[in-house]
Amino acid sequence: MDASIPAGTEMSRPFLPAKDFDLPTRFGVPVPKPPEDQPWGLRVAYVIDPSGVLWHVAQRRPGTRHDE
């Protein structure tokens, strides 16, 4: 996601379902880019926790359904 991360750096992108996308900004959590609606029915955002871990969070948009 970030071109400034050195090549070969090991990292993971944990996924966390979320209900309140305004919560990170209310608590001053760094948000690398604003939430984005995706064509597959999720609203997706990223936050960085105090230890520098990048979290991938998402919520299902109203009116969409998930096909198993």
According to DSSP H, which parts of the chain are helical?
Answer: 23-26
* Coil, strand or helix at 47: strand
- Residue 10 falls within a domain, yes or no? no
Confirm whether 66 is domain-assigned.
Answer: no
**If DSSP codes are grouped into helix, strand and coil, which group holds residue 5?**
coil
Q: What's the pLDDT at 57?
A: 83
Q: Which domain holds residue 25?
A: 15-60
The pLDDT assigned to 14 comes to 62
C-beta separation of 46 from 1 below 8 A: yes
Is 25 inside a domain boundary?
yes
Alpha helix stretches (DSSP H) within 11-59: 23-26
Q: Could you tell me the CATH number of the domain that includes residue 27?
A: 3.30.720.110
This prediction's pTM: 0.57
> For 28-45, how does the pLDDT look when each residue is reduced to its tens digit (9 = 90+)?
777 788 888 989 888 888
54 domain residue, yes or no: yes
- State how many domains the chain has: 1
Question: Is residue 1 included in any domain, yes or no?
Answer: no
User: What is the Cα–Cα distance from 55 to 42, expressed in whole angstroms?
Assistant: 15
pLDDT along the chain (68 residues), means of 10: 57 68 73 86 84 82 64
